[in-house]
Each structure stands twice: as C-alpha cells, then as structure tokens.
Amino acid sequence: MSDPVSDSTDRRATSSEGAGGAPINRWVLVGGGLLLQFSIGAVYAWSVFAKAYQDAEPWQLTKVQASLPFTVTIAMIFIGSYTGGRVQDKRGPRVVALAGGVIYAVGIVIASFTRGSEDLWLLVLGYGVISGFGLGVAYIVPIAMLQKWFPDKKGLITGLAVGGFGFGAVLTSPVARWLIGQDEAQPSKAFLWLGLAYLVMSLAGASVFRNPPAGYVVPGYEAASAGPTGRTAKEYTEKEALRTPQWYLLTAILTLNVTAGIALISQAAGSAEGIAGYSSAGAATVVGVLAIFNGGGRIVWAAASDYIGRMPAFAAMLAFQGVCLVILPHAGNAALWFVLAAIVYLCYGGGFGTMPATAGDYFGVKYAGAIYGLMLIGWSIGGVIGPLVISALLGDTGEPNYTLGYTTIGIIALVAVALTVITRVPGDRKRAVTSER
C-alpha cells in the first residue's frame, strides 16, 4: 500500500517552471544527477589505463609514473569542489554543472593526444589537472542541490547522488578495456571516445539542474526548519562553519574513513593474490566486482543514517573497517577475504554518501556547496595519506608485511570511532535535526 504522505510529497514537490512553463518533478533532477556522476565517476577506472601505460612499448611507465595522473586528479578534486560549491551558491547549479562537465571532458580529450612517455606531462595536465578540476566542480553540484529538494530524504538522496560516482568505474572499465584493445600500443586513443561520451552524458544530466523555487516546502516537513527557540534554524555561511569545532571534527572523520578504505583499495589486487591466493586474472576480476560495493555503500549507509543517525552510522563504518582490516591479513580463504574486503569497500563508499547529509544537518543547506566543497579536502588528504602509509608499512622489498600494514590501519580506524562520540550538532541546529528524524 502506498504511503499517502509520500505520494502527496512527490506530487507537490516540483521545481520552478522550465521551458514552456512546465514544472519538473524533483526525481527528474535525481536522474540528471546520476547521469552526471556516472560520467565523472569513470575516474575510478584509472587502474585499467595504469596497467596499459606500463605495458605499452611507447610508454613503459613505472608504477609511480603510471599513478601520477590519478594522484593529481584526486588532489585537484578538492580545488574544483570548493570553487564549484562557492559559485553554485551564488549562480545556481545548472551553469556550474555544465561548466564542470565541459572542463572534465576537455581534459580527457587533451589526454587522448599523448603518444609516448615524453608526453607524460601532457597526460598529467589533461587527465590530472584539467579533468580533475572539472570533476570537482561538477561533483559538488548535485550533492548540494538535491539536499534542498529532498529535506525529507537527505541521507538517501545524497547517497544516490554520489552512488552514481561510485558506479562510474563499473560501467567504464569494460568499455575502456575494449577501446584500449583496439590499439594496445596507444592506450591514450581510448580517451577521445570516452571524453566525447562523458561530455554528452554530463551535459544531458546537468541541463535539468535548478534550485527549488522560493518558499518551496515538502508537505509534512515544514517543522524541520524550527530552531531551539521555535525560530528558523540557523543557516551557516562558509566562514561561520569554519569557526566551529564541528566542521573540523567532521572533516577529520571523513579523512580517516577515506584513509582506512583507500589503504585497501590501493593494494586490493596485490593483497588478493598475496593473502588469499587469487590468480592475477582472478584478482583483477575481484577488484572490479568490489567496485560495486563502493557504489552501493554510498546509498546503503546514507539511507541507513536517516534512521539510525549520522554519527552512529559513521561509528559503525569506522568500526567495521577497523575490525575487517585487522582480520584481513589472516584471511587465507578466498571467500573470507572477499567478504572482508567487500565490507571495507561498503564503508569507504558510505562515508561519501553520508557526509553531505551530515554537513547539511550541522550547518544547513543554503550554503552547502561551499561548506561541503571545502570539507572535501579530507578526500584529497586521505586519498594521498592512505596509499602512502600502507605502501610504507608493507615494505618495498621481500614479502609484503600485510599483518603490520593492515593491522596498523585497522587500529587507526577503530581509534577514530572516538571522534563520532564527541561530535555534536550545533545548538542552533539541534531541534531542526531532531525533528527530521
């Protein structure tokens, strides 16, 4: 039986008039957000290209060189998301998302013109600097926009928004492998067709973006704006958020969740072979399947946080990752290794799905673009620290010390649970968050 309140919500939750004066249902914007995120989420398929660049004769890059474009991309995401978030808060979501999609696709197309190791600088510039910046600009837009349309489903909807990003590699990896196979000596040629496809997808998705009209309310949730004195709950500006301890605590939680998860992700194929005895081909297949859990975790944990609370969700994610990473080095059984790794991937993705709604709870959604865009520095920090720490702990010579490496990271994740205990919603937002529960 359908929920009459939910049905009423979806019927009445429409946007400002579009072309021809026709209103748009808010779920159409979710579809547009997913399409945009599918295209930019293809960045997680870089491992396919990294292997090709190491094997192709005109390139023959080292592992460090082959990882450089991806590392620069992750670093640039924060710069792009902060820039895009601030501009979106002033100019609206559509123009920013369109610009981000174009910049991202242009960077990919530029990378397609590289032909050998002497062009590594151009590959880093195109794929790393330019597309990474465009990715960040586009990434933040649906996250901030959809929270304004769905105050009644904030966790679920931000989970869906970033879930598309997590699934991007699942869709792109087999296509990229096929395109590279057409000319294995020149893997960069695949970027031309991928870049054009990304451009079409991102522009199609971003074209429907818009903020809700002035005075927009969702039936049954008007009371969620009430503050502790009955007045409208405070909407923090970027500068005001940065003056609170909560912003730094939330950023630390995101950073540590990313650090724990990406430590395994960066070593997943080698760990599958070295710990559980997978073959090289089997490990590659398993890593591809695990990407599904990365995407799914963004939706599952974000939706769960709507019911159990944001901090309990983060406490569970960090605790699960910690326990699984401690056990992982001793999982000689292939099935057990996969289950443990899948849980870590779920929780890694879950952090990205849950934190946007958490930031909205703590600081409001009016300036969510700039506030959460700046918070994504945790993604860049964790994305660099995690791989570096686990690589150092595993060692460069001899048999990797998986017990030392993953146990250390696991303990860090378990200790990080304490942050979720001391992080509290600001007093002038507390009643608003409670009423939404």
Most confident of the ranges 20-24, 213-217, 297-301: 297-301
413-417 CB contacts, 8 Å cutoff, 24+ apart: 413/256, 413/257, 413/260, 413/318, 413/319, 413/321, 413/322, 413/325, 414/318, 414/319, 414/322, 414/323, 414/326, 416/252, 416/253, 416/256, 416/257, 416/260, 416/318, 416/322, 417/315, 417/318, 417/319, 417/322
238-242 CB contacts, 8 Å cutoff, 24+ apart: 238/86, 238/367, 238/370, 238/371, 238/374, 240/363, 241/362, 241/363, 241/367, 241/371, 242/374
pLDDT given at position 62: 81
In tens, the pLDDT along 77-102 reads 888 988 888 888 788 899 999 999 99
Q: CA 11, 15, 18 angle in degrees (round to 5)? A: 120
User: At residue 224, does pLDDT exceed 50?
Assistant: no
Q: Which CATH architecture has domain 24-213?
A: Up-down Bundle (1.20)
In tens, the pLDDT along 7-50 reads 344 444 444 444 434 467 888 888 999 899 888 888 877 877 87
Query: Helices 334-363 and 268-276: crossing angle, nearest 10°?
Result: 150
User: At residue 70, does pLDDT exceed 80?
Assistant: yes
Q: Look at 269 and 320; give whichever has higher pLDDT.
A: 320
In tens, the pLDDT along 116-139 reads 999 999 999 999 999 999 999 998
Number of Cβ within 10 Å of residue 121's Cβ equals 11
- Reading the block at residue 192, the tokens are 């031309």
pLDDT given at position 2: 41
Rounded (10°) CA dihedral 232, 233, 237, 238: -160
> Which is nearest to 328 in space by CA: 281, 274, 266?
274
Question: How many angstroms separate the Cα of 141 from the Cα of each of 86, 94, 114?
Answer: 10, 8, 31
Average pLDDT of the segment spanning 47-55? 80
Two domains, one topology: 24-213 and 230-437: yes
Output the CATH code of domain 230-437: 1.20.1250.20
Please say whether the beta carbons of 115 and 186 come within 8 A: yes
User: What letter would DSSP give residue 186?
Assistant: -
Give 3-state DSSP helix, strand, coil % of the chain, rounded to 5.
80, 0, 20
Q: Residue 64: CB partners within 8 Å, gap ≥ 6?
A: none
Please say whether the beta carbons of 53 and 66 come within 8 A: yes
- Domain range list for the chain: 24-213, 230-437
Q: CA 387, 389, 394 angle in degrees (round to 5)? A: 95
In tens, the pLDDT along 139-172 reads 888 888 888 888 877 778 878 878 888 788 777 8
